[in-house]
């Protein structure tokens, strides 16, 4: 009986937020006389958003959970997609190669960023500001400011499809779960996360672990860059921290994922967080919501959710009384 | 703390001394005329009283000219920069100093301050947040000011046309922007197309040139469709409507239909989803973009019969898009179009400003080159991107140095590809 | 030995200032070689640094607590736009000044109270606030109904658009902040709270109260920065002060302020950092480095200076 209740609680905990969001979005669209999912394009847009937001959330959370704030993930995404698309266009390579080169470039750029961090031992937020500026500048210098365009390259722009995005989601999720939950690296990561000093004193090598984290985050952002580039067939330049906006898309799904992670693996929580935000994004597109309204609504959702998370117990006391809480 | 404070005080005093004394050019505290306090270097920039276009110009000294950059990353601005950097700078005794990408009026003012610091004798502006303030600042410092690829409004021109430091403006007027949009829509309406979508670019931010281009498109649709746009049926009423809403309403204009509209450059998931769904609207025939369309919609229409028409510049990417069928019509500024304003500015710094017969600043309009096929694009692009023989070569531009207004005006007014080829 | 260590410590402490002097020297040398107008250049540097210097000086209070506010630039933009609207409605520049300060302080207090009352992480609250304020900028411009800008007549602000006025604003505000930071209990409490929050709480220091004071001080700076922005460039658009948010972070760090806050926090960091960054930009312009390469050089110098400035703050573990 107790086990059954536990499973029900788990299922409710996992499914409530995305399901309720889905229902609200469906209703909002219906009230305005449109369907949330009407065309194949809507499905592709939804899965693209899920994929890129999920990967960005993974990348952000890997370091943020360890207290390392990383402003440079957007610039890694930009630079790795520039490197991969330039190579693939010049060598006439196919989409899988572009994805692989993006991933590898992302890993290398991420590892370099981690290397700078461990070598100069400055707070990660400072290092990431410098790295973001450097990678943006390098992207600009490589392309002379023009960015890269391959809109007429039928092969490279053929990637966007529900099936491809699903493949990326599943593979990325599995790799991240295996890396962080079933390897020594993941064990060390979690140990360092819960107690840096104790772990270092116990002999856990923090430096390789930190570089590894940066490399993995970089690899994930390399894929985000690839997804973004193949969506439109061109890569726009960013200077003076223009690339950091990508990072902000990951906060809401990260907090939602953190909450759902109480009932299942945290990474699955991040996927569901990404699903939730992608549903909201699609609703904005379907209802043609003004961008300033979008920004305000998303911010209010973020703050509202954080208020709930940080005051859960107080709210419960308020709603069901102290006795109910201790039952 | 005390030592740091002491050091900071010393530093502040040094700055104070340097800002308070020494060579003080006409700056923000200078008298409006800015003539009595100009530096030795700036004296060369003073507008001479009796210019003689026939005199030999002394081009032995390197002249520094500041360039206000409105955008560092679009095809159009990069093509312009390339023409100045790769052609003009290597053919004339000038040093061009570029600003960073400017995003507001404060940035413009700050960049002009930097140019004045660098002893620039003139400023060529591609940035338009506050042109009147730019001119006031330049005139206050005794340096020349010119507007490239744009024009002032009639009211603004009336205010500043007599200012000796205002060289003038050469670029597409709002009338030409309107006509560009009109011609683009008409091109498809004449082919019998009736189902359109519009990409409004910076219309939500009230950018005039985009509003005028869109108004041109809607006016052509009103004429062809026989209806009205939200109750407006003439040019002025449509422009007014667009300024009122900063958006375009979808729906029917008589027999013509606007099936979709996207504006802004949000570049987030919701925005890309909007772009995708607009490009894939059932029955859509043409996407008319007030700016760059193929970069945002090209991949979505791949393999369909939907056509995309854009307004931008001649860049490699657009050639590829045209060959791939992702771009069908391009009204593009040619990079050398900024040659004449350079010459007018350079000429002024050499002591031979080019003014109208009434002694006023230049106000000349220049339009676009329109390519409707890949072959035509390639023909235009070959000339436009050439660093050896661009559309306006040194020989052609040299004829304008210190020339009279009539010659200059005649030269600028012949801006079509064919006319320029004939001049060469 | 002790004396040698003290000397080393002092040299490291002075690194940001030495960096500023070095940049100043490079600017002067290059300026002389390249024949620039140094006197005007100094005015330019003051004009280009002043807004960031003022806002960053206030932000030092937030950083001292180990907190972080990414919405300062957006807050300055909203305050400036509202101040501009207030001037256009009343024709009184003092009203615009009061509106700028009042609104900026209100936004700042809203941030801190929201974070304090609901126990939210300050940084995330400011990220949400950044979105709201950016949206508000567009709403204000639309509400104003004058196209894409809110413009104060330049003649109205011209009397104040002088180096003297701007320096007076900076110096008065800096002195106020330095006094509160260095010579009152508030500064000491904030440093303790930033350095060791548990110890600070145990000694009875209220973190919520300190956060509210820090944000209020920063709010005054944002308001002053917004007003100086109007004075400098009275045509305000949706991108007004858009780069200030990140510039403030860079300036504070460049000036030698530890991002973790605490006892090593320095009120002068903001001004040193803001001026250093401007000198660096001017040097890039003199050398005519293109945007990409210029930005890469800036990034490298930024990391180098901060690295040297915080050389004595390393420990065995990686910083977080």
DSSP readout, C198-232?
Answer: HHHHHTT--HHHHHHHHHHHHHHHHHHHHHHHHHH
Q: Does A137 touch chain C (CB under 8 A)?
A: yes
Q: Supply the pLDDT for residue A310.
A: 86
Q: What is the DSSP letter of B88?
A: I
- β-strand pairing of B329-333 with B369-371: antiparallel
In contact, B114 and C282? CB cutoff 8 Å: yes
Cα-only R_g, chain B: 24
Residue A81 belongs to what domain range? 37-249
Q: What is the pLDDT of residues B38-77, one digit of tens each?
A: 333 443 334 444 444 445 788 889 999 999 998 888 888 8
Beta-bridge partners for B199: B262, B289
Q: Supply the pLDDT for residue C124.
A: 83
Q: What is the pLDDT of residues A27-83, one digit of tens each?
A: 999 999 999 999 888 999 999 999 999 999 999 999 999 889 899 999 999 999 999
**Average pLDDT of the segment spanning B149-157:** 88
**Average pLDDT of the segment spanning A138-151:** 90
Q: Supply the pLDDT for residue B34.
A: 36
Q: How far is CA A171 from the centre of its chain?
A: 15
A170: number of Cβ within 10 Å:
11
Q: Which of these, B173, B187, B208, lies nearest to B367 by C-alpha position?
A: B173
Q: Which of these, B148, B103, B143, B159, lies nearest to B126 by C-alpha position?
A: B148
Q: What is the pLDDT of residues C224-239, one digit of tens each?
A: 999 999 999 999 998 8
Q: Does C280 touch chain B (CB under 8 A)?
A: no
Task: Please state, in angstroms and rounded to a whole number, the distance separating the CA atoms of residues C5 and A110.
Answer: 37
- Asked if residue A5 belongs to a domain, the reply is no
pTM for the full model? 0.89
Q: Does residue B18 surpass a pLDDT of 60?
A: no
**Average pLDDT of the segment spanning B369-381:** 95
Q: What is the pLDDT of residues A93-136, one digit of tens each?
A: 999 999 999 999 999 999 999 999 999 988 899 999 999 999 99
Q: Does residue B415 surpass a pLDDT of 80?
A: yes
Considering CB atoms only, which of C243, C290, C320 is closest to A68?
C320
Where residue C5 falls among pLDDT bands split at 50, 70, 90? low
- Burial code of A269-291, b = ≥16 C-beta within 10 A, e = fewer? bbbbbbbbbbbbbbbbbbbbbbb
CA distance B3 to chain C (A): 9
C113, burial (CB in 10 Å: exposed 0-12, middle 13-18, buried 19+): middle
Q: Supply the pLDDT for residue B77.
A: 87
Nearest CA in chain A to C138: A292
Q: Does residue B108 surpass a pLDDT of 70?
A: yes
Q: Among A110-119, B249-258, C51-60, C236-245, which is the least confidently predicted range?
A: C236-245
Q: Supply the pLDDT for residue C1.
A: 54
Q: Does residue B11 surpass a pLDDT of 70?
A: no
Residue with the bigger pLDDT between A312 and B228: it is: B228
pLDDT above 90 covers a percentage of chain A that reads 71
Catalogue the E-assigned strands of chain C. 150-151, 235-236
pLDDT above 90 covers a percentage of chain C that reads 57
Own/partner long-range contacts of B187-192 (Cβ < 8 Å, ≥24 apart): B187/B309, B187/B329, B187/B372, B188/B285, B188/B286, B188/B288, B188/B307, B188/B309, B188/B329, B189/B220, B189/B221, B189/B224, B189/B256
- β-strand pairing of C235-236 with C150-151: antiparallel
- Asked if residue A258 belongs to a domain, the reply is no
Q: Supply the pLDDT for residue A324.
A: 55
Task: Please state, in angstroms and rounded to a whole number, the distance separating the CA atoms of residues C154 and C216.
Answer: 30
**Sequence-separated (6 or more) residues with CB below 8 Å from residue A232:** A151, B272, B295, B296, B298, B299
CA distance A311 to chain C (A): 7
CATH code that applies to domain C49-245: 1.10.3470.10
Instruction: Fold for B175-333, please state it.
Output: Rossmann fold (3.40.50)
Q: Does residue B176 surpass a pLDDT of 60?
A: yes
Task: Note whether A154 contacts B302, CB cutoff 8 Å.
Answer: yes
What's the mean per-residue pLDDT of chain B? 87
Considering CB atoms only, which of A116, A131, A295 is closest to C132?
A295
- Asked if residue A317 belongs to a domain, the reply is no
Considering CB atoms only, which of A130, A197, A296 is closest to C132?
A296
Q: Supply the pLDDT for residue B417.
A: 93
Considering CB atoms only, which of A197, A255, A310 is closest to C119?
A310
Q: Supply the pLDDT for residue B26.
A: 39
CA distance B361 to chain A (A): 34
Distance, first Cα to last Cα, chain C: 31
Task: Please state, in angstroms and rounded to a whole number, the distance separating the CA atoms of residues C89 and A229.
Answer: 47
Domain count, chain A: 1
List of chain A residues whose C-beta atoms are within 8 Å of the C-beta of residue B270: 281-282, 284-285, 289, 291, 294
Q: Supply the pLDDT for residue C127.
A: 87
CA distance C155 to chain A (A): 32
Q: Does C92 touch chain B (CB under 8 A)?
A: no
Q: What is the pLDDT of residues A252-293, one digit of tens each?
A: 999 999 999 999 999 999 999 999 999 999 999 999 998 889
Best of A127, A133, A237 to substitute, by most chain C Cβ atoms within 10 angstroms, is: A133
CATH code that applies to domain B61-173+335-367+392-423: 3.40.50.2300
**Average pLDDT of the segment spanning B101-120:** 93
Q: Does residue C197 surpass a pLDDT of 90?
A: no
Residue with the bigger pLDDT between A139 and A5: it is: A139
Where residue B27 falls among pLDDT bands split at 50, 70, 90? very low
Q: Does B157 touch chain C (CB under 8 A)?
A: no
Q: What is the pLDDT of residues C57-99, one digit of tens each?
A: 999 999 999 888 899 999 999 999 999 999 999 999 999 999 9
Q: What is the pLDDT of residues B376-407, one digit of tens each?
A: 999 999 999 998 899 999 999 999 998 999 99
Q: Among A179-193, A216-230, A313-327, C144-158, which is the least confidently predicted range?
A: A313-327
Where residue B8 falls among pLDDT bands split at 50, 70, 90? low
pLDDT above 90 covers a percentage of chain B that reads 72
Task: Please state, in angstroms and rounded to a whole number, the distance separating the CA atoms of residues C186 and C205.
Answer: 10
Q: Where in chain B is the domain with CATH 3.40.50.2300?
A: 61-173+335-367+392-423, 175-333
Chain B positions touching chain A (beta carbons under 8 Å): 72-73, 75, 78, 100-101, 204, 264, 266-274, 276-277, 279-280, 294-296, 298-300, 302, 315-317, 320-321, 323-326
Chain C: partners with 3+ C-beta pairs within 8 Å: A, B
Q: Where are the domains of chain C?
A: 49-245
């Amino acid at each position: 009986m107790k086990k059954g209740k536990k499973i029900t609680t788990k299922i409710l905990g996992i499914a409530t937020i995305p399901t309720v969001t889905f229902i609200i979005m469906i209703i909002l669209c219906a009230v305005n006389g449109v369907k949330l999912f009407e065309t194949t394009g809507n499905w592709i847009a939804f899965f693209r958003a899920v994929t890129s937001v999920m990967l960005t959330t993974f990348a952000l959370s890997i370091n943020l959970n360890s207290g390392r704030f990383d402003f440079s993930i957007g610039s890694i995404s930009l630079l790795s997609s520039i490197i991969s698309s330039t190579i693939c266009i010049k060598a006439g390579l196919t989409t899988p190669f572009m994805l692989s080169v993006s991933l590898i470039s992302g890993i290398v750029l991420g590892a370099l960023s981690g290397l700078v961090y461990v070598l100069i031992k400055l707070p990660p937020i400072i290092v990431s500001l410098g790295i973001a500026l450097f990678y943006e500048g390098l992207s600009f210098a490589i392309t002379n400011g023009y960015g890269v365009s391959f809109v007429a390259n039928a092969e490279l722009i053929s990637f966007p499809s529900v099936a491809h995005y699903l493949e990326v989601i599943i593979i990325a999720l599995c790799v991240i779960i295996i890396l962080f939950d079933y390897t020594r690296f993941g064990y060390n990561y979690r140990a360092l996360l819960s107690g840096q000093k104790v772990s270092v004193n116990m002999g856990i090598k923090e430096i390789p672990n930190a570089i590894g984290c940066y490399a993995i985050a970089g690899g994930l952002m390399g894929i985000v860059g690839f997804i973004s580039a193949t969506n439109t067939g061109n890569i726009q330049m960013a200077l003076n921290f223009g690339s950091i906006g990508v990072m902000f898309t990951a906060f809401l799904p990260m907090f939602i994922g953190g909450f759902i992670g109480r009932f299942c693996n945290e990474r699955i929580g991040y996927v569901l967080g990404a699903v939730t935000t992608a549903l909201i994004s699609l609703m904005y597109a379907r209802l043609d919501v003004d961008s300033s309204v979008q920004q305000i609504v998303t911010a209010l959702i973020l703050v509202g959710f954080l208020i709930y998370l940080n005051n859960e117990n107080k709210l419960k006391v308020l709603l069901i009384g102290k006795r109910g809480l201790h039952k | 703390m005390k030592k740091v404070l002491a050091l900071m005080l010393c530093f502040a005093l040094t700055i104070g001394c340097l800002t308070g004394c020494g060579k003080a050019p006409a700056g923000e505290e200078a008298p409006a005329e800015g003539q009595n306090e100009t530096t030795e270097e700036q004296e060369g920039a003073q507008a001479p009283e009796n210019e003689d276009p026939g005199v030999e110009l002394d081009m032995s000294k390197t002249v520094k000219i500041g360039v206000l950059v409105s955008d560092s990353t679009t095809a159009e601005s990069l093509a312009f920069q390339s023409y100045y950097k790769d052609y003009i700078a290597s053919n004339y005794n000038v040093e061009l100093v570029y600003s960073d990408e400017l995003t507001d009026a404060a940035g413009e003012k700050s960049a002009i301050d930097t140019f004045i610091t660098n002893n620039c004798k003139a400023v060529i502006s591609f940035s338009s947040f506050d042109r009147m303030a730019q001119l006031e600042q330049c005139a206050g410092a005794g340096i020349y000011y010119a507007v490239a690829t744009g024009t002032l409004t009639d009211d603004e021109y009336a205010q500043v046309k007599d200012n000796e430091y205002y060289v003038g403006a050469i670029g597409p007027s709002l009338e030409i922007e309107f006509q560009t949009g009109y011609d683009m829509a008409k091109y498809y309406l004449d082919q019998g197309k009736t189902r359109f979508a519009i990409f409004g670019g910076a219309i939500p931010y009230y950018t005039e040139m985009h509003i005028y281009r869109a108004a041109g498109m809607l006016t052509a649709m009103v004429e062809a469709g026989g209806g009205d746009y939200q109750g407006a049926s003439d040019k002025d009423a449509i422009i007014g409507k667009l300024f009122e809403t900063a958006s375009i309403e979808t729906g029917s204009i008589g027999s013509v239909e606007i099936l979709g509209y996207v504006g802004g450059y949000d570049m987030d998931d919701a925005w890309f989803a909007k772009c995708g769904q607009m490009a894939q609207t059932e029955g859509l025939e043409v996407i008319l973009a007030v700016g760059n369309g193929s970069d945002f919609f090209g991949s979505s229409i791949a393999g369909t019969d939907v056509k995309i028409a854009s307004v931008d510049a001649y860049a490699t990417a657009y050639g590829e898009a045209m060959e791939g069928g992702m771009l069908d019509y391009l009204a593009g500024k040619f990079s050398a179009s900024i040659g004449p304003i350079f010459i007018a500015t350079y000429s002024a710094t050499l002591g031979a400003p080019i003014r109208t017969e009434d002694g006023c600043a230049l106000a000349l309009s220049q339009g676009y080159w329109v390519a409707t096929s890949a072959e035509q694009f390639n023909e235009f692009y070959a000339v436009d991107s050439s660093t050896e023989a661009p559309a306006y070569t040194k020989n052609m531009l040299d004829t304008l140095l210190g020339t009279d207004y009539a010659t200059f005006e005649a030269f600028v007014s012949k801006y079509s590809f064919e006319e320029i080829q004939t001049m060469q | 030995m002790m004396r040698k260590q003290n000397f080393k410590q002092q040299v490291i402490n002075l690194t940001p200032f030495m960096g500023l002097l070095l940049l100043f020297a490079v600017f002067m040398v290059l300026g002389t070689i390249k024949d620039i107008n140094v006197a005007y250049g100094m005015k330019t540097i003051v004009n280009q640094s002043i807004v960031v210097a003022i806002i960053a000086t206030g932000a030092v209070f937030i950083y001292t607590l180990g907190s972080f506010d990414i919405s300062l630039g957006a807050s300055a933009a909203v305050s400036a736009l509202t101040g501009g609207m207030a001037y256009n409605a009343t024709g009184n520049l003092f009203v615009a000044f009061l509106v700028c300060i009042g609104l900026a302080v209100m936004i700042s207090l809203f941030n801190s109270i929201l974070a304090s009352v609901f126990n939210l992480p300050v940084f995330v609250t400011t990220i949400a606030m950044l979105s709201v304020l950016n949206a508000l900028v567009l709403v204000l411009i639309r509400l104003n109904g004058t196209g894409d800008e809110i413009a104060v007549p330049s003649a109205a602000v011209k009397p104040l658009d002088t180096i003297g006025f701007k320096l007076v604003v900076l110096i008065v505000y800096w002195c106020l902040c330095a006094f509160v930071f260095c010579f009152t209990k508030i500064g000491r409490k904030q440093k303790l709270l930033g350095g060791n929050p548990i110890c600070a709480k145990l000694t009875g220091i209220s973190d919520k109260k300190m956060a509210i004071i820090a944000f209020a001080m920063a709010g005054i700076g944002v308001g002053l920065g917004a007003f100086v922005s109007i004075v400098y460039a009275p045509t305000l658009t949706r991108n007004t002060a858009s780069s200030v948010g990140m510039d403030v972070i860079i300036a504070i760090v460049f000036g030698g302020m530890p991002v973790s806050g605490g006892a090593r926090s320095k009120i002068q960091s903001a001004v040193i950092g803001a001026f250093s960054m401007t000198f660096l930009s001017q040097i890039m312009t003199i050398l005519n480095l293109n945007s990409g390469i210029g930005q890469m050089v800036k990034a490298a110098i930024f990391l180098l200076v901060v690295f040297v400035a915080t050389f004595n703050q390393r420990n065995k573990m990686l910083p977080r």
